Amino acid sequence: MLLGERVCVCGDFNAVRSNEERRSSREGPRSSDHVPFNRFIDDNVAQLRGLPDHCPLVLMANEENWDPRPSRMLKCWKDIPGYQHFVRDKWSALQIDGWGGYVLKEKFKLIKVALKEWHHTHFQNLPSRINSLKIHLFDLEGKGEEEDLSETEVAEVHGISSDIHSLSRLNASISWQQSRSLWLKEGDANTKYFHSV
């Protein structure tokens, strides 16, 4: 709060912290502009700035729920059979009354919930599903070394191999996309190089 009002401040500030900072300015020193600016910084600073001259100054603010979190779509969803059909059916089944912007916002909110449930049913515990398929494949291949497999067992081996391949690709795609979003959030601190230095 600044002078009793809530504010959101962004930008390259022309206000200074002390009159000495304006020595070379054509405007000369202003006696009062640095007082509220300094008070605001002193009251709200959460993290001191680093060494570079131009770097963000992190300020502490009250935790408020400004808006709903943005929806995130995993790129691999579009490769799942039935995904587009699921979204199309859910979207058309949602009946909401109101003006256009409200209807759109509410549909997005509801489809986000439906997609979250859909994601859990299709992608929950991918690594353990892959491992259980590998174990089953290993058992079938071991049986095939001792005796001939039936046609259904051979078809099952091919199906399991295909499932392992597709689930592994999905898992890699999800991991890659999540690591990119984590990198955007945490920056270089989320790299193997950073932790090795």
Strands, DSSP E only, in 13-100? 45-47, 58-59
Kindly give, in sequence order, each residue whose CB lies less than 8 Å from that of residue 162, ignoring residues fewer than 6 positions away: none
Q: Where are the domains of the chain?
A: 1-66, 75-196
Residue range 71-75: average pLDDT? Answer: 73
> Structure tokens of 127?
């690594």
Residue 64 confidence class, pLDDT cut points 50, 70, 90: low
Helices (H) and strands (E) in the chain, counts: 6, 2
Flag whether the pTM goes above 0.95. no
Best CA proximity match to 59, nearest among 13, 14, 16, 10: 10
Phi, psi of 143 (to 5 degrees): -65, -35
Residue range 144-173: average pLDDT? Answer: 85
Would you say 167 and 58 are in contact if contact means Cβ atoms under 8 Å apart? no
28 Rama sector, left if φ>0, alpha if ψ -120 to 50, beta otherwise: left
DSSP type of residue 187: G
More confident residue, 19 or 152: 152
Using the predicted structure, report yes or no on whether residue 181 has a pLDDT greater than 80. Answer: no
Using the predicted structure, report yes or no on whether residue 107 has a pLDDT greater than 60. Answer: yes
Residue 51 confidence class, pLDDT cut points 50, 70, 90: low
Q: For the chain, give the mean pLDDT.
A: 74
Distance of alpha carbon 8 from alpha carbon 117, whole angstroms: 36
